[in-house]
Each structure stands twice: as C-alpha cells, then as structure tokens.
Amino acid sequence: MSEETAEAVGKMLEIPRVALVVLVGASGSGKSTFAARCFAPTQVLSSDHYRGVVADDENDQTASTDAFEALHHVVGIRLRRGLLTVVDATNVQEHARASLVKLAREHDVLPVAVVLDVPAAECVRRNESRPDRDFGAHVVTRHAAALRRSLPRLQREGFRIVHVLRGAGEVAAAHVRFTRMLNDHRELTGPFDVVGDVHGCRGELETLLTTLGYALRRDDEGRAVGATPPAGRTAVFVGDLVDRGPDTPGVLRLVMGMVAAGEALCVPGNHENKLIRALRGRNVKVSHGLAESLEQLGRETPEFRAEAEAFMDGLVSHLVLDEGRLVVSHAGLKEAYHGRASGRVRSFALYGDTTGETDEYGLPVRYPWAQEYRGRAMVLYGHTPTATPEWVNNTLCLDTGCVFGGALTALRYPEREIVSVPAEREWYAPVRPLAADQEALAGGFALPSPASHGQGAGPRHGDGLELTDVLPDGPVRVLETAHHGRVSVRAENAAAALEVMSRFAIDPRPLLYLPPTMAPCATSTLPDVLEHPAEAFAAYADDGVVDVVCEEKHMGSRAVVLLCRTPEVARRRFGLGGVPDDGTDGGTDGALNGAAAGAVWTRTGRAFLDDALTAALVDRLRAAADAAGLWTAAGAGDDAADWVLLDCEVMPWSAKAVELLRRQYAAVGAAGRAALPAARDVLGSVAARGIDVGDLLARTQARRTDVDAFTAAYRRYCWPTDGLSGLRVAPFQVLAAGLADETAAPPARAFHTRDHLWHLGIADALVAADPGLVAPTRRLVVRTDDATSVAAGVAWWEELTGAGGEGMVVKPVANLVRGPKGIVQPGVKVRGREYLRIIYGPEYTEPANLDRLRRRSLGHKRSLALREYALGLEALERTARGEPLWRVHECVFAVLACESEPVDPRL
C-alpha cells in the first residue's frame, strides 16, 4: 500500500467514550499533532506540558518525576468524573504504562493503547527541526527500541484495545471514532418492567408476564418463545434465569426469544456465569441448583444448548438506561461503577459487594452497599432473596425467592409499581430461611452486621444517614430545590445544626419537616406602630397576588404534628415506638410500648412534650382526625391516608416556654414594676420640695405604664396547664399525608398547591371534632386590589390586636405562588403593637425609640424565609416521591442550619 492510499483511506480507530487512551511513541513520532487532531484540547494531558507546569521548562527532564505525579493526579480526577483522557507521553517503557493501566483500573475505565510506530530516522529529523529539543539522536533510538520490545506485550499488560499506526503516513491519516460502552443504553427510556430472579420458574414467569400485560407467543410445541409487551414497554431481566427451578430451558427459551425480538433486555447473574463455565466443561462445583440446569439442558438439543450458551455469554454485566436514570444489574452496583467497565465492576454486578466473611449458614457476608448508595440513578437488582421488596436509597432488590416458594416480582418503571405473583410451590429448599431477614428488619438495627445482613440488603430504617449527607466537605453545601434553585448552607451553620440535631432532635425518620421562618411585613411609616397590615397588602399587590387570606396568629409555640392512623403504621413507616423485646411484630394495635402513634416536635426538631404527654396528645388528635374524616380528606382517590403531617401552633406559650418566661419576661416585668414606682415616688418627693426635675418624672411615669403594658402583653399568652388540660392545638396547614407502604406509587402527597381555605377547612373539621383541644384559626379573605376589602382587613387586624392578639399572618389564598421574580413570600406576619413589647422591649413605643427601631433591615430575613420555605417544600416533595431518607433529611437539616444564620431575631 502506498503512502497516498493509506492517507486517503485513513485507519479508523474505535475508542470507547469513557477510556484512558495511552499514546505510545518515540519523541518526535508526532503524538502531540495526532492528539491535537483527534481529541479535544482538554482531553489531552501531555508530559511536556506538566514539566512546564512544575518546572517552567517543558524540556527539563529532571522535573519528570514531579511532572508525572501531577499528570497522574489530574488523570485520576478526570477518570473519576468519567471523562475520556489521553496521555501524551512517550510511554515506551513498561513501567510508565503500568502506572497508567493501574490508574485506569482504579477508576474502572478501559485502558486503550495507540502506538505511533514511526521510524527512528523520521523522529530524529523532526526533533532536529525543533530548537527546544536538544537531546541527541541516541535518545530517540533508545525509544524506538523500547517500543519495538513493547509491541507484543501491550495486551498482556492490560490494554483492552491496542491500535498500532505504522509510519508517519498512517499516523497522519488515522481517524478516531468514539464508541458507546456496551452497558450504555441511556437512549432506551422505557417504560420498563424489571423482573427479579426467575431461577427456572417458567410457569410463574409466564403468569407474571401475562399479569403485566404481555401476550405470550408459543411455538408449534406450545412452548413460550416470546411475549409481546403492552404498548411501548420493554421487559428487563436482572439475571439468575437459571438453576434450581423446574424448567431452566423453558425460561431461557422465552427470554432469549424476547431479547432477540427486542421485547426484553437482560443482564447476567452469577448462576448464568457458572452455568456457562459448566457447559464449557470447566471444573465447577455442581451445587446451588446447577445440577438441575445441567440435567434439564441435557434433554435439549445441542443446538439449543449452544444457542443458550452464546446468549448467556453475550450478556453485558450491567445496563445504564433512561438517560442514566436507571441502572440494572444482578447484584446491584455502587454509583462509582455505573457505566464503567473492569473486572471488579463485573464482579460486583454479578456477586455483589462482600466483606470476605461468611455467616453462620456459610454464605458470604454481603456489604450493605445500598445503604451507602447516594446516587441519583435508581438501581434495580436481584440476587438476594428477601420476603418483601424494600426500597433502600433508591435501590430495590426484586428477588423475592420465587424458587424457594416466595414470589416472582417485577417493578414497573418509572411508575415504581410492584407486581408480584406467588410461587406455585417451593421448588427448592433455601439454605437459610427467608424470614431471617424479617427478623433483622424487626430488630431495627442498621447494618452491617453478620447477623443481620447475611442475605438482606438491610432493613428499611437501616437507611443509616451519613455525616456527609449533612455536613459540607468545603465551606458550603449546596442543595437543589425545585422552587428556589440552589440553596447554600455554610459550614459553621451546618456545624451548629449538627450539634442540635444529633443531641436534641427526634429520630430523623418521622422528622420530615421543619417550619421555615417568616418575615414581617415592611416597616410601617405610620406613627406609633412598627408593623401595619397595609404594608402586607401592598406588598402582595405588587407581587400580583390579588386574593390573600389573613389568618389569626396564635401566640404559642410552633409545633409540627405527625399522626398515624394506627400504631402499626407508626412503627412500620416511621420506626416509632421501637420493637417489642420478643422481636415479634408487636400486633397491630396499642403495642408501641406506650409510645405515641405519631410525634410532635418544635422548630428545631426537639420533642415538644415528654413521651407520655406526646402519646396522650397524639391519641386525642388521632381521634379527632378519625371523627373529622381527615384520613380520607388527605388521602388520594380511594386510598385513605395512613399518616398526616400538620403544621400547628400549640398554646399557651407558657406550656413550652415557662423557663424562658420566668428567667426573662416575667423577670423584666417584676423588676420594672418594683423599680419604677419607687423612682416615681422619690421624684415626686423631690418635686414636692420645689425642685425642678424636668421631664424625668413624666418619663418615669411613662415607663411605668410601658412596663405594665409589657406585663399585660405576656400574661395574655400564659395560663396553667395540667397534662392535656389547658393545652390548645391550632392546626393551620396540612403539610403532607401518605401511606404506610413506601413502595406505593406515589407513597405520599404534599399539599402546598391546595389553597389555604382547604387547609383551614380541615382545621375547622378538627376543631368541630374536639373543640376542647383543637383551637380554631380565625381568618378573613382580602382582595388587595379593592380598597374596601383592604380597609376591612386593616380593621380586622386592629380588632384582633386591640383585644390582645399577637397579630395576623397574610398569605396568598392560592398557597404556593410563583411571580415573575420567583416564588413569593408564602406569608408575612403583621404583629400587634402591644405584642411587640415582648419582642422589642417594654419601652419600644416611646417615639424616640420607635424612630430608631424603624431603621430595621428586612432583606436577609426575607431571603432566609424564602430559602427555608423552599427547603421545607423540597423535603415534603421528596417524601411524596418516596425518595430515600437521606434526601429528605438533608433538606430538613438545611432548614435548621439556615435558622442559625445571623439575622435580627426580632424580625
């Protein structure tokens, strides 16, 4: 072949999209030119460049060690991020290549060698034309010799693909084509029906496919050879089609037919892997149901056996589907391995992660990778028989032990709907009972431990939280919210929140929400008041919100109340009440060891009341919920809710804040009421002596009045309570409601798009059900574009606050409202003149004080209110989508962290 022809045709080099490409060639062979032509500049890391980076001289050979250290570091970062990376260095020495092969393996990408085999003379000639390359020809000659020696060894060194370009012409003409990884089927977007371990249970598989709406196709002998899916759907098998069960060939025939017809995808299981080796005559131990497969296949034709062997051999160990949102493999896959290719990726996909230990049944102890899984992709897998599928951090094991007499299970994706058919019988006796995992579940202890996770991926509430779920690893942690974009949490605020959350807050499982802070209305310019409703109405009018609802602001303590329909729901969904010592399920009613079938917590996530009082309050409210029809009202369609989350105010203030009242508020009042009359008397006597004390007497008298008003203000919010007697709960918003079954689709709903009148209607129903405990929230709807309506709103506020009320909260009737500049404030508070004495001090109403206090800055508070609101909604929406605990908890934690930001506490 002449050089011209080679150039015209040009070699096509296939390179996987995620790979480490190692260029191999002597100095002067044209590597950099080739790389610049075939790859993006950022993909190419050259040793010359890194010599320059570390030594300011690209040719300083004494800097090579440092240069390669820096280069390898960057290679590692790029590979970790899944980026194709090209190393432009001579790489003619085996040790140089070995370190790169090792790096590729460490990041589970394919090492690819591209050899530029250019005659030494040509290289020398090129170097001579470059003034900066002053090393002699002997160097190039040595390179060329080393390259020659290396050529036959490259495959053995671990390069999975080796391209050799011979001569300058081939180098100049070569092109690169990027190929998709075999596991990369992101273009397939489903919907899918992902089927768990079949293990030769052909009958159950046929039933399941039929249940899923597939139409079986049969051959002349009546054997199922395919199944036409319902419109647009594709089946996906998680492997372990074979062994143990009654008809491995029948299962293979059906699945092979479906895969060939494009009706199904399939990944291999460890049993397929072993069966192939057995079929190839390798020496494998015939156990775990392999004998059955071999015996059944022995009755088939050699052609079928060959076909089956080829089918199983051609399966790719895991699949990345639906734009990367779904990963299917037999034994699960940690995030770092998604879309990667290496021996250990394959091994993980087939066998899972093991600790190297074995349990009391002699089975390998599996490492609970799913509990540490924090990836966004859903991972569906099988391999580990469990009695019921349990979501763990967006992963689901679909092996429900059909062959052991359990069930054959599929998941409809993206609907997250589980479809199961029971086994026709126990086809094979399990080594260890399936129930063992249920015991671990009941134990309530997170993994890993040999006793509890020998077979299971772990109980639901072992979704143990990681410190990295809440603490930033730099100065800030950023959370994505649907309604307010990216929200940052600073390290110091997270540190403070960590201490409060871990030392004082309740269990994170029920703690689905923390209330956001709320900004006051803009500061009024009217004399004598700091806050006035006109400002609130005007602000919403500016935001384009016409209908607002004014809600009476109760002066107590904020409380979030979780109510469960039954104690069983509280235990199952939220792990409340722990588990009876005998490890049983504890029955279905009143068996929570006296614990509440719900929870009540404060703004910072502390238990609002002690255990006994919590249980009593929750029971009263559950009874009210029953009577008010709350479960149905908050349910979805025909499904009544199993649990409901309510935003409430609990009164009196003194119930929770009595220590604060004694230490702070009552103390100030007591001091003022004693000091000021004494001072007034003294000044009165001075004046009586005819000495002019100026305004001092009048000022002292005014202070006396202020202190009395201050005392009256806090007294309104205090009354004695005894147990539940005296306690009032004012619910004003239904935050979320859901089902006990977290695998339901959807498992819960949030209600921030329901208008506030619906929420208040529910509150009214609860009041009607238990007027002694549940306090009503008075409200008035105002149109911000109607002067008469606005005036009525103002008058209503004056009436409320004139009677000693704290004030009111003005909210858009529609609830969540998005304006041109993003979400609008979900509510603003307009506090009464007298109430504010508790906040700004007894004497704040003195004109000189008021004038100074008007200079308050609301910007930070408003921003904080929106961020916390968005985080709270994010927590609720993630709950509604059935997202893992860590995804919910990171939002709740972030609300707490934001609460510790420095903002004027009086706002």
Partner 1 sequence: MLLTITASANEALSDATDLGYLLHKHPGRAQSFGVASGTAHVVYPDAGPARCTAALVLEVDPVALVRGRPGSGRRRSAPGGDGTLAQYVNDRPYAAGSLLAVALGQVFRTALAGRCDLRPDAAAAPLALEVTVPVVPCRGGADLAERLFAPLGWAVEADPLPLDEEFPEWGDSRYVALRLTGTVRLAEALNHLYVLLPVLDDAKHYWVAADEVDKLVRAGAGWLATHPERGLVTRRYLRRRHAFVRTALQQLAIERLADADDTDVDDVDNAVPVEEVTSAEEMTASENVTAGEGATTEDGTAGEAPDTEPGPLPLAKQRIAAVVDALRTAGASSVLDLGCGEGALLAALLADRSFTRVVGADVSYRALQVAARRLRLDRMPERTRDRLELVQTALTYRDARLAGFDAAVLMEVVEHVDPPRLPALEAAVFGAARPRTVVVTTPNVEWNVRYGLGPGNLRHRDHRFEWTREEFRAWADGVAQRHGYAVTVTGIGQDDEELGRPTQLGVFAR
Check: CB of residue 907 under 8 Å from CB of residue 519: yes
Residues of span 579-638 touching partner 1 by CB under 8 A: 602-604, 606
Q: Which listed residue (129, 302, 692, 821) binds partner 1 by CB under 8 A?
A: 692
693 binds partner 1 (CB under 8 A): yes
Residues of span 866-905 touching partner 1 by CB under 8 A: 896, 899-905
For residue 243 the two structure tokens come to 């062994």
| Rounded distance between C-alpha atoms, residue 83 and residue 79, angstroms | 5
Q: Which is nearer to partner 1, 626 or 851 (CB)?
A: 851
**Closest distance between partner 1 and the C-beta of residue 406, in Å?**
25
Region label for 583, one of left (φ > 0), alpha (ψ between -120 and 50) or beta (otherwise): left
- 3-class SS letters over 327-385: EEECCCCCHHHCCCCCHHHHHHHHHCCEEEEECCCCCEEECCHHHHCCCCCEEEECCCC
Q: Which listed residue (483, 839, 858, 881) binds partner 1 by CB under 8 A?
A: 839
Q: Which listed residue (336, 696, 724, 757) binds partner 1 by CB under 8 A?
A: 696
* Residue corresponding to tokens 């007034």: 680
Q: Please, what is the Cα angle at 172 between 169 and 174, to 5 degrees?
A: 105
For residue 604 the two structure tokens come to 């910072």
843 binds partner 1 (CB under 8 A): yes
Q: Which is nearer to partner 1, 219 or 499 (CB)?
A: 499
Pick the piece of the chain touching partner 1 (CB under 8 A) from 165-173, 282-290, 499-507, 560-568.
499-507
7 binds partner 1 (CB under 8 A): no
**Closest distance between partner 1 and the C-beta of residue 903, in Å?**
7
Instruction: Give which of 768, 775, 797 is closest to 726, Cα–Cα.
Output: 775
| Rounded distance between C-alpha atoms, residue 536 and residue 540, angstroms | 6
| Rounded distance between C-alpha atoms, residue 70 and residue 77, angstroms | 11
Q: Which listed residue (53, 83, 442, 679) binds partner 1 by CB under 8 A?
A: 679
Q: Which listed residue (49, 699, 778, 783) binds partner 1 by CB under 8 A?
A: 699
Q: Which is nearer to partner 1, 347 or 604 (CB)?
A: 604
Pick the piece of the chain touching partner 1 (CB under 8 A) from 693-701, 787-795, 821-829, 872-880.
693-701
Q: Which listed residue (12, 36, 682, 768) binds partner 1 by CB under 8 A?
A: 682
| Rounded distance between C-alpha atoms, residue 838 and residue 878, angstroms | 38
**Closest distance between partner 1 and the C-beta of residue 690, in Å?**
9
Per rule CB under 8 A, count of chain residues that contact partner 1: 104
What is the identity of the amino acid at 802?
G
Instruction: Tell me, residue by residue from 720 to 759, as one string, x for binding to partner 1 by CB under 8 A and - for no binding.
Output: x---------------------------------------
496 binds partner 1 (CB under 8 A): yes
**Closest distance between partner 1 and the C-beta of residue 488, in Å?**
15
Check: CB of residue 151 under 8 Å from CB of residue 200: no
**Closest distance between partner 1 and the C-beta of residue 80, in Å?**
16
Q: Which listed residue (270, 711, 784, 845) binds partner 1 by CB under 8 A?
A: 711
671 binds partner 1 (CB under 8 A): yes
Q: Please, what is the Cα angle at 798 between 771 and 525, to 5 degrees?
A: 140
Q: Which listed residue (239, 382, 586, 672) binds partner 1 by CB under 8 A?
A: 672
Contacts of 554 (CB under 8 A, 6+ apart): 649, 651, 730, 775, 777, 806
Q: Which listed residue (356, 527, 694, 847) binds partner 1 by CB under 8 A?
A: 694
Region label for 243, one of left (φ > 0), alpha (ψ between -120 and 50) or beta (otherwise): left
The alpha carbon torsion through 614, 640, 763, 606 (nearest 10 deg) reads 30
Residues of span 630-669 touching partner 1 by CB under 8 A: 654, 656-669
**Closest distance between partner 1 and the C-beta of residue 76, in Å?**
19
For residue 29 the two structure tokens come to 């062979």
Q: Which is nearer to partner 1, 513 or 797 (CB)?
A: 513
Instruction: Give which of 365, 387, 370 is closest to 585, Cα–Cα.
Output: 387
Q: Which is nearer to partner 1, 658 or 823 (CB)?
A: 658
**Closest distance between partner 1 and the C-beta of residue 709, in Å?**
13
849 binds partner 1 (CB under 8 A): yes
Q: How many Cβ atoms from other residues are within 10 Å of residue 64's Cβ? A: 17
Q: Which is nearer to partner 1, 470 or 880 (CB)?
A: 470
CA distances from 262 to 42, 133, 265, 411, 778 (A): 38, 57, 8, 19, 62
Residues of span 326-385 touching partner 1 by CB under 8 A: 372
**Closest distance between partner 1 and the C-beta of residue 355, in Å?**
10
Q: Which is nearer to partner 1, 337 or 710 (CB)?
A: 710
Residues of span 514-543 touching partner 1 by CB under 8 A: 517
Instruction: Give which of 702, 705, 745 is closest to 880, Cα–Cα.
Output: 745
Region label for 531, one of left (φ > 0), alpha (ψ between -120 and 50) or beta (otherwise): beta
Contacts of 169 (CB under 8 A, 6+ apart): 3, 6, 7
* Residue corresponding to tokens 């051959």: 219
497 binds partner 1 (CB under 8 A): yes
Instruction: Give which of 70, 89, 99 is closest to 25, Cα–Cα.
Output: 89
Pick the piece of the chain touching partner 1 (CB under 8 A) from 38-46, 428-436, 629-637, 706-714.
706-714
Q: Which is nearer to partner 1, 222 or 902 (CB)?
A: 902
Pick the piece of the chain touching partner 1 (CB under 8 A) from 188-196, 257-265, 469-477, 731-739.
469-477
Q: Which listed residue (503, 582, 637, 820) binds partner 1 by CB under 8 A?
A: 503
852 binds partner 1 (CB under 8 A): yes
Q: Which listed residue (273, 452, 481, 801) binds partner 1 by CB under 8 A?
A: 452
Q: Which listed residue (411, 447, 487, 630) binds partner 1 by CB under 8 A?
A: 447
For residue 630 the two structure tokens come to 């709350």
**Closest distance between partner 1 and the C-beta of residue 550, in Å?**
25
Pick the piece of the chain touching partner 1 (CB under 8 A) from 294-302, 314-322, 565-573, 696-704.
696-704
504 binds partner 1 (CB under 8 A): yes
Q: How many Cβ atoms from other residues are within 10 Å of residue 518's Cβ? A: 21
Q: Which listed residue (146, 686, 757, 781) binds partner 1 by CB under 8 A?
A: 686
506 binds partner 1 (CB under 8 A): yes
**Closest distance between partner 1 and the C-beta of residue 492, in Å?**
4
**Closest distance between partner 1 and the C-beta of residue 623, in Å?**
24
Q: Is 219 exposed, middle or buried (0-12, 13-18, 19+ CB in 10 A)?
A: exposed
Q: Which listed residue (16, 229, 462, 586) binds partner 1 by CB under 8 A?
A: 462
Pick the piece of the chain touching partner 1 (CB under 8 A) from 21-29, 124-132, 445-453, 805-813.
445-453
Q: Which is nearer to partner 1, 151 or 667 (CB)?
A: 667
Q: Is 177 exposed, middle or buried (0-12, 13-18, 19+ CB in 10 A)?
A: exposed
Residues of span 819-838 touching partner 1 by CB under 8 A: 838
Largest separation between any pair of C-alpha atoms in the chain: 127
Q: Which is nearer to partner 1, 185 or 867 (CB)?
A: 867
Check: CB of residue 178 under 8 Å from CB of residue 404: no
For residue 308 the two structure tokens come to 């089956």
Q: Which listed residue (138, 467, 788, 859) binds partner 1 by CB under 8 A?
A: 467
* Residue corresponding to tokens 């994170």: 508
Q: Which is nearer to partner 1, 332 or 464 (CB)?
A: 464
| Rounded distance between C-alpha atoms, residue 165 and residue 176, angstroms | 12
